[in-house]
Each structure stands twice: as C-alpha cells, then as structure tokens.
Amino acid sequence: MKLMFFDIDGVIYKNKKSNDKLLLFLQKNKIPFIFCTGRGYLRSLEIVNNYLNELPIIIENGSKIVTKNNEIIYQRFLTQNEKKILKYIDYKEVEYILFNPSNSNNYIQYGDKTLLYVSKRISNSKDFYNEVLVNDICQITIKFKSNECVNAFIDKCNNNNINAIKSEDYIIINSKGINKRTAIEFIIDNIFINDDIYVFGNDYNDIEMFGLKKGKKIAIIDDNTPEELISLSDIQTSYEDLYKVVFNIVKYQKN
C-alpha cells in the first residue's frame, strides 16, 4: 500500500486555504498519509485537525513525531553546545522568536485536547536566552525583519556547524542531523514499514526529505521553490494541479 508524506505550507495549504478536495480523496480511498511540517503541534492542528488519522504527524521540521492524541513518540532536543547559536543572533533585526519549552508547564486547551507542548513567542532576547538554557527544546524559529538578515544569519550558522534552514523570511534551527527525512525514516522503519513512498514538498526545509533513498519525490513549484529541491524531484507540479497528480498515483495503484 502507498504511504504519502505531505508538507503543509505551500503543499496542502496555501493562501489561507487547505486542499480539502485532495485530503478527502485520500481519506475516501483509504490511502495512508502523514503530515510533515516545520510547524509546531498547535499551529499544525489549526490546519489539519480534521484530517488526522491513526498515523502520527511529523512536526518541528522532523525533530518531533506526535500522535493525534498529543503523545510524543520521538523527539530530538538541541544540545547545550548547539544553544550557543544565541551569540550569533543580531537581536535588533529579530521580530520574534518561537520555541517549544518541552519540560515546562506551558499548555493550552484546544477543543477536547490539553496540549502540553505549545510554542512560546518572545521578543525580549534576555528572556529567550534564560528560557532556552533551562528547557529542553527541539526547534527554534526566528522571524527576521528582512530576507537580508535571514541570509546573513544562515551564513554565520554554516560557518559554525549549526543546523539552520531558511523558510521564507524565517530561520528554523534543529539539532544537527535532524530533519524531515530522519523522521520519515523513523516512521517507515518502526511504525509503518513500507517501500511504496511518496513525498511532497516545496521549500528549503523539504530538501533533506527529498534525499530519502526510497520512494518518489513530488515538488510543488512556485516562484520560491529552490532549484536544489526541483533537481531532486521525480515529478514537478503546481499547487493547483497537485490533486490530479495524486489522483493518477492512486488510480495507477488500483489498476
């Protein structure tokens, strides 16, 4: 049976609208699919809550895998050494920083779920620094005021062996070697053993998962899709035509 992994933003969610036709089609045809996103759990639920199935969801750029009941089955924290990234941040150009203090009492009620792993948004660099040092954190997301600041920070990270990925005008930071591909590998090795894999992505933080040894990679092309992602893909399509591509994949399976 086919198993599909979908990035959320720009793939099944764009212009503040989700691709309900595609997701309902997959549900109707009982095709297992897993969301694979840089978002945190709450921000993911705001988009895909109605489409969660018995399979888990990959969040925080592959550093965490969570069930639909908010149970963490896999997570990889930033090391203390990696937290030294803080000294490279020019706080004057930062709008805000998102991070998930996993060992704090930060939680929120979302419908019938008590979410214990909710991202905090901080603008004060001193508060951020103090919380990061004492908490286990899988991902830090930094919003800069301009793309120029993003590119400069990426260069500093690359020169200091720090795992930072560009996503629009954000920086996503995870522990070295942790990404969407490593989370997908964990799932297909331990939870849903499968060789018939399809991976859908469109952005810089999808490049690593397009390096998956098995399966087909489908790039959703827009003006910001990186060339490296396109070069690694087996199929290219647009957001508008993605349903047709998935329909043909499922139809081929049935025939």
Boundaries of every domain in the chain? 3-75+178-254, 82-174
Asked if 3 contacts 56 with a C-beta cutoff of 8 angstroms, the reply is no
By mean pLDDT, which of 10-19, 123-132, 133-142 is the weakest? 123-132
Q: What is the pLDDT of residue 202?
A: 96
Q: What is the pLDDT of residue 124?
A: 81
CATH topology of domain 82-174: top7, de novo designed protein (3.30.1710)
Rounded-to-integer distance, Cα 173 and Cα 155, Å: 13
Any idea which residue has 């954000």 for tokens? 170
51-97 pLDDT per residue, tens: 988 899 999 999 999 988 888 999 999 998 888 887 777 778 889 99
205-238 pLDDT per residue, tens: 999 999 999 999 999 999 889 999 999 999 999 9
pLDDT of 111 strictly over 90: no
Asked if 246 contacts 22 with a C-beta cutoff of 8 angstroms, the reply is yes
Burial pattern 30-50, b for ≥16 Cβ within 10 A else e, equals ebebbbbbbbbbbbbbebbee
Rounded-to-integer distance, Cα 124 and Cα 198, Å: 41
Higher pLDDT, 193 or 172: 172
Rounded-to-integer distance, Cα 79 and Cα 62, Å: 16
Task: Look over the chain and give the mean of its residue pLDDT values, rounded to a whole number.
Answer: 89
Overall CATH class of domain 3-75+178-254: alpha beta
Task: Please determine whether the domains at 3-75+178-254 and 82-174 fall in the same fold group of CATH.
Answer: no
Walk across the sheet containing 72-75 and list its strands: 57-59, 64-66, 72-75
